[in-house]
Amino acid sequence: MRRSREATAQSRERIVSEAAQLFRERGIEGASVADVMNAAGMTHGGFYRHFPDKDALVAAAVDRAVDDVIGQIDQQAATEGLGAAISAYVSMYLSDDHVKSPRYGCPIAALASEARRAPETTRAAVTNGLASVVERIGKALPCEPEDQRPAALAMMAMLVGTVVLARSTADKALRDELLQAARAQAIG
Amino acid sequence: MRRSREATAQSRERIVSEAAQLFRERGIEGASVADVMNAAGMTHGGFYRHFPDKDALVAAAVDRAVDDVIGQIDQQAATEGLGAAISAYVSMYLSDDHVKSPRYGCPIAALASEARRAPETTRAAVTNGLASVVERIGKALPCEPEDQRPAALAMMAMLVGTVVLARSTADKALRDELLQAARAQAIG
DNA sequence: TGTACATCAGTGAACGCGCGTTCACTGATGTAC
DNA sequence: TGTACATCAGTGAACGCGCGTTCACTGATGTAC
């Protein structure tokens, strides 16, 4: 049954949105096309009316996840200033909730090691997201302008590394220690 | 054809050794049992004479990779002291070679995001490796004893994060910037 | 030490399964007049 | 505005493929006497 243009656009929107969450939660290989379509309320066959293949969905989903994160930062920066927005971002990043729920969290921390073997479109989306966040962190750092970028890169590496390590270890105490150590370094 | 005890032990050794390399290079899901067995010079059927299933091989391979890394540090520490060993480790970690060749590099950076969804045995092997490296880094850091552990955790997070990010981005210039920023922060 | 037999490491075909993808089909939507 | 037809979003069965795993088989090794 053919759908209206609006309904078609909404379907695509649901597919991308669910994919952005499922890929972060289960990994790219861990979430199948059928999984995503079911989450979007459809069967798998219709997928190819929206995307040429799974790789195209992956790229769109990573783009979406990146846009969401950057959008949140920029929105808060517009009302409360960039410094407050970055502070909030770092606090969120190093929170228990973020470690526990990759679904709505940083796509880079969730997908980074799969991205290494992903097609160019996906790698480009990750690179773009990384560059955008680093740029905003840099501007918010209280140091000499020429030191902002390296400091922002090192900060981002520590954020990503902390969350990746906290998620990979089974030891709750070690997880807490990691988060606290990173907070001390990043905030205090 | 039955093999001698010695030949059997050598076969198992080759399987674990090749698995430790292939899993780091291609990921756990990216290297099949048949791939590992071929690399070890055998066909896939014989695998189950050595391991009950692939999960057991993954755990053994991660253990092996971790032991190799820790062994290198400890060996250098025995002759040149822990400080020199950790310095060399950090330099190696933040080198272009390490980013380019996960095959012989840090198993945590290579497998961390897959480890999150891996069985308990694999997670335990990763946790054990992380704890071992952090302990050694802590002892080598020139700060108050009570600050050594958090500083070591934050340092390890930055090392892992830098390499994970450098590997996931397609942008060579950004990769170089990441490594240089991390070196400046870690080494001084 | 030598012999007869049991063991088992490794082979290669076969299995079931889930995956990405294709396809014939349906029927509501969009378009042409 | 109404009608006739073409389009195409979504369904569900089917496909080929690679995976982890199983299994009958082979023949050298290990063991019992």
Write the pLDDT tens digit of every residue in A37-83.
999 999 999 999 999 999 999 999 999 999 999 999 999 999 999 99
Q: Residue A187's pLDDT is what?
A: 84
Whether B67 has a pLDDT exceeding 90, the answer reads yes
Judge if the beta carbon of A37 is closer than 7 A to nucleic acid strand D.
yes
What number is the average pLDDT over the span B74-84? 98
- CA dist B133 and A43 (Å) reads 47
Query: Which pLDDT band, with edges at 50, 70 and 90, does A188 fall under?
Result: confident
Closest-approach residue (CA) in chain B for A180: B150
pLDDT tens-digit profile of B49-58? 999 999 999 9
Q: What is the DSSP letter of B52?
A: S
- CA dist B135 and B74 (Å) reads 12
Cβ contact B130–A157 (<8 Å)? no
Q: Residue A1's pLDDT is what?
A: 82
pLDDT tens-digit profile of A9-33? 999 999 999 999 999 999 999 999 9
Round the average pLDDT of chain A to a whole number and report it: 97
The closest alpha carbon to A114, from B127, B167, B31, B21, belongs to: B167
- CA dist A125 and A66 (Å) reads 8
Distance from residue A2's CA to nucleotide D6's C1', rounded to whole Å: 12
- CA dist B156 and B144 (Å) reads 18
Kindly report the length of chain A: 188
Chain D: bases < 7 Å from a protein Cβ: 7-14, 18-24, 26-30
The B residues from 115 to 154 touching A (CB cutoff 8 Å) are 115-117, 120, 123-124, 126-127, 130-131, 149-151, 153-154
Closest-approach residue (CA) in chain A for B128: A169
pLDDT tens-digit profile of A149-183? 999 999 999 999 999 999 999 899 999 999 999 99
- CA dist A23 and A55 (Å) reads 12
Whether B4 has a pLDDT exceeding 90, the answer reads yes
Q: Residue B113's pLDDT is what?
A: 85
Question: Which is it for the CA torsion B66, B69, B75, B81, positive or negative?
Answer: negative
Whether B187 has a pLDDT exceeding 90, the answer reads no
Question: Which is it for the CA torsion A67, A71, A72, A73, positive or negative?
Answer: positive
Query: Which pLDDT band, with edges at 50, 70 and 90, does B1 fall under?
Result: confident
Q: How many CB atoms lie within 10 A of CB A81?
A: 12
The B residues from 41 to 100 touching A (CB cutoff 8 Å) are none
Query: Which pLDDT band, with edges at 50, 70 and 90, does B36 fall under?
Result: very high
Please name the member of A115, A150, A184 whose beta carbon is closest to the beta carbon of B168: A115
Collect all residues of chain A within an 8 Å Cβ-Cβ radius of residue B109.
Answer: 113
Q: Residue B112's pLDDT is what?
A: 87
Query: Which pLDDT band, with edges at 50, 70 and 90, does A113 fall under?
Result: confident
Kindly report the length of chain B: 188
Q: What is the Rg, in whole angstroms, of the alpha carbon atoms belonging to chain B?
A: 18
- CA dist B126 and B150 (Å) reads 19
Please name the member of A131, A161, A177 whose beta carbon is closest to the beta carbon of B160: A161
- CA dist A171 and B120 (Å) reads 11
Cβ neighbourhood burial of B25 (10 Å; 0-12, 13-18, 19+): middle
Q: How many CB atoms lie within 10 A of CB A188?
A: 5
What number is the average pLDDT over the span B116-128? 95
Collect all residues of chain B within an 8 Å Cβ-Cβ radius of residue A29.
Answer: 29
Question: Is B174's Cβ below 8 Å from some Cβ in A?
Answer: yes
Closest-approach residue (CA) in chain B for A168: B116
Judge if the beta carbon of A173 is closer than 7 A to nucleic acid strand C.
no
